[in-house]
Structure 1
Amino acid sequence: MHTTPLSPDDPAELGGFTLLRRIGHGGMGQVYLGESAAGEAVAVKVIKPTVVDSETRQRFAQEIEVLKTVWGPRVAAFVKADTESEQPWLATEYVEGPDLRRLMDTRGVLPPLAAASLGATLAEALAGVHSQGLLHRDLKPANILLGPNGPKIIDFGLAVFAESSASLTAPNMVMGTPACMSPEQANGEKPLKAPVDVYALGAVLLFMTTGHYPYQADHVQVLFSQIVNPEKTPDLSGVPEELAGLLSAMLQYAQQDRPTMDEVVAQCVAVIKSHGATVAQARRRLTSLTAVAYEPPAPDPVPAPYPPTTTAPASAEATTVLAPATGPMAVAPTVPLPQQSTPTHPPAYTPTVAVSTTDSEPGPGPVDVAVPPPNLVPAPAPITTPPVGPRRSAAARRIASQLRETYASAAPF
């Protein structure tokens, strides 16, 4: 799940949960990634102070009561809540992974096998919700998270009892996301029944396999007019052939013409088997997409105790000494130095010598060399390749002697 740092105005703690980062926000409030005293991650939804009034508190309290009754392996579980605090809040299970909207932005459309696995899993989960006498009413890609073990449904904020005329919204007010809204929901019909979620799931699967919704328009009023028009058929262009019949049935205008959630599960499983895969294999294929779409937030950078070096030592006992560019070939030997609790030289002391790779007198022998980085020593003037052969000049012997004396003081013998 995508997160951002906290702002200075965000609370640091709520209800015993330490707030770590922002997850997202909506019309009623902000959602944070929180952590319990024992280290359990939760999603904490906080109502905005600007919208906290008696009506909002009542609606929020009703949402919490609904959440307490919703359960299942594919539903983000209720953890804790407080509707009476100055800023009412709700904590639910945190699912680490992208929502389907972010998955689409990062990965693109799903292949038929993964889409069928998604459809079967969500339909089975929603069938369980419906068996509890509840509806979701706002199923959309942003409310479905693809966690490490498969998809989970979040945000039952608009959920209502399926056979009840009671509503969380005012009379004649339509609530939900238009892109995935069924015709009866757009028409304001009450009470809503299970087919409303069947239609929304069909819209989600259509989006995840084609990149578009059943109806599209630049203005919400035009979009609503298309959804409620029985003569306007949904756009199914680009749907994989093996899913076309199922999605066409799920997006039917009349509620009675749509399949049940159990029928959706059966048809999605049939698509999976037609690909020669098992349900478990298809689920693994679906969840493997999480690694492509989701990158956990990087930890805050920790300053290095020492300035970074451009040449890594070969071992814990090795160090690199840079030589000044004096002469036709300036090199930096890499030699082992002992570990000492008290440095032989003051901090930042670096012995600098010019070294030739061979010498007529006995010396330290061949050494690994590295060209000094341009930001540490002056850039040498253009040079030509030195002549091949031994160098026996007095200057060379003097330099070799200087090299031995320089490192003799630090040697363990």
Structure 2
Amino acid sequence: MPVERFGPYVVMEELASGGMGRVLLARSPGGRTVAVKTLLADSADDRRRFAREVRIAQRVRGLYTASVVEADAEAAKPWMATEYIPAPSLRDLVDSCGVLGAGALHWVAAGVAEALLSIHAAGLVHRDIKPSNVLLPVEGPRVIDFGISQAHDVTRTQAALGTVAYASPEQARGEPTTVASDVFSLGATLFHLAVGRAPYRDGGAGSALEQLVRTAAGELDVTGLPGDLEELILPCLRFDAAARPEPAQIVARSQERLAERPSARGGEDWLPGNWIEAIERHRTQRMRAVREAQRRVDPDARTQLVHPPRPTARMAMQPGAGQATRRPRTLLLVTGGAAATLAVGALLVLRPWTAEAGSSGAGKPDGPVGILPVMSESPGVCPADSPEGRSWTSDDRQTCVVTAGEKGLTIGQFKNVRAYYQSDNGLNGWTVEVTLNDSDRAAFTRLTDRVAGQSRPQNELAFVIRDSDRLLASPAILEKIAGPKVPVAINLKKNEARFIAQALGAPS
């Protein structure tokens, strides 16, 4: 059976189909997993709409949206490849796990509001913010589907293009949609998270015409909304678009609430346990499905794990900060002295993920681990013209490193991989540590001796998965390290530590 392709991307399986298009799971020649959206219909109008969607999606950049990797709207079958996010939607999570409390809801609100800031900064209105269009990795919410988005300067009088139960009154009336229309839909989505239904009378039930009339008139029913969420949600649902808050004000209001727990960071600190379990279960199932799909397409090919979704930027914890700030990089540095301190002196809790405290061991990593001197470093995903075989993107999609043109060191399996929590020596987070095999220690020591003392980033060593484009860590080396224990990443959140440790071969 011939393999289906869109550009360079080989289709592995279908994720969804309906309406005008299909969404397919595909892989790049280098093994990167992407979601490919393609057009089913083939009229001139359909192709123009799809081309417009591609142009709109390519304009949006931000931590809280799914980025476009590549597209060809002029192909015989138009297609668009986007970052694949193996996470359930807010709708799925409410249906399976119930509603959210105030703290978690403020955390989600901040992330989606930041997505709106990115979308609106590109001169766009999303027009279809709803629970099913927001995916939730543990790291933070991601807004998807720009199919009916429009530019600010486009005037439309066509009625109700969005999902009516979460649309603004002006959108239901067919009036021009604005930034304020997205804010209303955000408020309706947050109401769904808090109460379990849409905010309109009868929860959006009834015929399409009934829903449209109800929405156009702004017939809300906000009974059941907890009092401590009224200040966040009700202003978003005001009938008068001009009276609704700006997305930046929603971010600031959420920051004030999040600042009450300054030690809390990502979703694992805010979300209830059953939500976190559902998110991780979904991710595990999707990763397994990806590997199985890869084997079906190419039984002899080496399979790789899907990149975890990039972490959400941490919210500034000072009330009134006004905007989110990016969390400092957590893959920092190791030195000879620090290695001894991190591995022994500051050890508080050792938790290989399913093993008893104090146990050790390592399985096979996701692929052979390369340890390579770094030549250059830049923010974001490595561009398409980066040197082939020497360009590596971090799993959080925030850093690209290009390594020097030398073999470095390749390790098939570490003697031990472990992760532990520490709150000493100015650190407050998880550390991932590897123990080198005796046969690898001399080569590693020579590598550290060669890069130590150079200016950044030439003093870094990249820990990468050789048969993919994954950068796991890039610690700076301040002096020669003899090993055998090497902390490769410090000050991590637990979930971040788990991704790196398991990729290196920690028990899963």
Bin of the TM-score, shorter chain as denominator length: 0.5 to 0.7
Give the C-alpha shift of residue 290 in structure 1: 4.1
Matches of 1:247 and 1:62, distance apart in 2: 32
**Contact 1:117–1:283 (CA under 8 A) maintained in structure 2:** no
Q: In the alignment, residue 211 of structure 2 is paired with which amino acid?
A: L
1:263 counterpart = 2:249: yes
Give the alignment partner of residue 222 of structure 2, picking from 218, 221, 236.
236
SS of the residue corresponding to residue 43 of structure 1 reads strand
Give the C-alpha shift of residue 282 in structure 1: 5.6
Q: Which has the higher strand share?
A: 2
1:203 counterpart = 2:188: yes
Matches of 1:281 and 1:90, distance apart in 2: 30
Matches of 1:35 and 1:44, distance apart in 2: 9
Structure 1 match to 2:10: 18
Give the alignment partner of residue 138 of structure 1, picking from 116, 128, 132.
128
Give the C-alpha shift of residue 160 in structure 1: 1.0
SS of the residue corresponding to residue 125 of structure 2 reads coil
Give the alignment partner of residue 205 of structure 2, picking from 210, 213, 217.
217
Give the C-alpha shift of residue 89 in structure 1: 1.1
Structure with larger Rg: 1
1:176 counterpart = 2:168: no
Q: Quick one: structure 1 residues 67 and 119, their matched pair in 2 at CA, closer, same or farther if it must change by over 3 Å?
A: same
Structure 1 match to 2:474: none
Matches of 1:291 and 1:283, distance apart in 2: 10
Using the size of structure 1 for normalisation, the TM-score is 0.64
**Contact 2:159–2:173 (CA under 8 A) maintained in structure 1:** no
Q: In the alignment, residue 214 of structure 1 is paired with which amino acid?
A: P
**Contact 1:163–1:193 (CA under 8 A) maintained in structure 2:** no
**Contact 1:180–1:203 (CA under 8 A) maintained in structure 2:** yes
Structure 2 match to 1:31: 23
Using the size of structure 2 for normalisation, the TM-score is 0.53
Give the alignment partner of residue 237 of structure 2, picking from 240, 251, 259.
251
Moved over 6 A (4+): none
Identical aligned residues as a percent: 33
**Contact 2:159–2:171 (CA under 8 A) maintained in structure 1:** no
Matches of 1:111 and 1:173, distance apart in 2: 34
Give the C-alpha shift of residue 265 in structure 1: 1.1
Q: In the alignment, residue 239 of structure 1 is paired with which amino acid?
A: L
Matches of 1:183 and 1:221, distance apart in 2: 14
Give the C-alpha shift of residue 134 in structure 1: 1.1
**Contact 1:149–1:287 (CA under 8 A) maintained in structure 2:** no
Give runs of aligned pairs for residues 34-45 of structure 1, distance below 5 A.
Answer: 34-45=26-37
Give the C-alpha shift of residue 128 in structure 1: 2.4
Q: In the alignment, residue 42 of structure 1 is paired with which amino acid?
A: V
Give the C-alpha shift of residue 40 in structure 1: 0.7
Of 197-206 and 96-105, more deviation after overlay is shown by 96-105
Give a deviation string over 1:75-98, Cα, whole Å, max 9, x none: 110111122223211111111111
Matches of 2:28 and 2:138, distance apart in 1: 21
Give the C-alpha shift of residue 281 in structure 1: 5.0
Matches of 1:54 and 1:135, distance apart in 2: 24
Give a deviation string over 1:91-112, Cα, whole Å, max 9, x none: 1111111111111122211121
SS of the residue corresponding to residue 101 of structure 1 reads helix
Give the alignment partner of residue 66 of structure 1, picking from 56, 61, 67.
56
Give runs of aligned pairs for residues 294-333 of structure 1, distance below 5 A.
Answer: 294-295=281-282, 296-297=285-286, 298=288, 300=292
Give the C-alpha shift of residue 172 in structure 1: 3.0
Give the C-alpha shift of residue 287 in structure 1: 9.2
Of 18-27 and 88-97, more deviation after overlay is shown by 18-27
**Contact 2:129–2:186 (CA under 8 A) maintained in structure 1:** yes
Gaps of 5+ in 1: 1-7, 303-413
Gaps of 5+ in 2: 296-508
Structure 2 match to 1:4: none
- What number of residue pairs does the alignment pair up? 284
